[in-house]
């Protein structure tokens, strides 16, 4: 019996020693490496999982447009709307322009302003009621709504049409709803 107890103690000791050495080897190969980061003025060292300061303007600005396809379209839309607004204001402020041209430009500017506000209001309503981002484009008597991929189902389509019908005079058959990547 004494021999059996000694044999068990030796086996247990060997297993504990093997487990301890395995933990040590694992720690040795996976321990965090402290390396200097950033500029040489401040000797800051990083460890995996540490927070890092990043710039708000990245060198590769295409990452944001790839992640948010709506942002690039909104930027393009904003630029074209600003150009149209500038052209109409030039006609309105031109002393050599005829009264009918000034009147027409003023009406067009008011309509453009109303359309810009309506598009923004509808986008905000869609985000608050449906819970996803969208892009609304109103042209004459038609509306196109681009939605995030995977966000459309029967209920959300009905809600989108309801929002458009309540806030515009556009007919239901002139409403186009689609998903983008």
- Say whether pTM exceeds 0.85: no
Specify the pairing of strand 44-46 against strand 35-37: antiparallel
**Any residues with CB less than 8 A from the CB of 27 and at least 6 apart, and which?**
none
Digit-coded pLDDT (tens) for 50-91: 666 666 554 554 444 455 778 888 888 889 888 888 888 888
Digit-coded pLDDT (tens) for 136-147: 988 888 999 988
Q: How many residues does the chain have?
A: 181
pLDDT at residue 66, rounded to an integer: 52
Q: Where are the domains of the chain?
A: 68-180
CATH architecture of the domain covering 68-180:
Orthogonal Bundle (1.10)
């Amino acid at each position: 019996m004494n021999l059996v107890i000694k044999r068990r103690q030796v086996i247990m000791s060997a297993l504990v020693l093997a487990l301890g050495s395995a933990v040590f080897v694992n720690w040795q190969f996976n321990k965090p490496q402290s390396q200097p980061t950033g500029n040489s003025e401040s000797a800051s060292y990083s460890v995996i999982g540490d927070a890092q300061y990043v710039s708000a303007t990245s060198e590769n600005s295409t990452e944001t447009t790839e992640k948010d396809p709506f942002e690039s379209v909104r930027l393009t839309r904003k630029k074209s709307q600003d150009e149209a607004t500038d052209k109409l204001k030039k006609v309105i402020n031109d002393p050599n322009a005829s009264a009918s041209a000034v009147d027409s430009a003023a009406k067009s500017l008011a309509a453009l302003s109303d359309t810009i506000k309506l598009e923004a209001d509808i986008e905000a309503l869609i985000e608050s009621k449906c819970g996803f981002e969208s892009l609304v484009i109103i042209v004459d008597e038609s509306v196109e709504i681009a939605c995030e991929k995977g966000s459309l189902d029967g209920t959300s389509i009905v809600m989108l049409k309801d929002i458009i019908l309540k806030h515009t005079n556009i007919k239901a058959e002139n409403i186009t709803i689609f998903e983008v990547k």
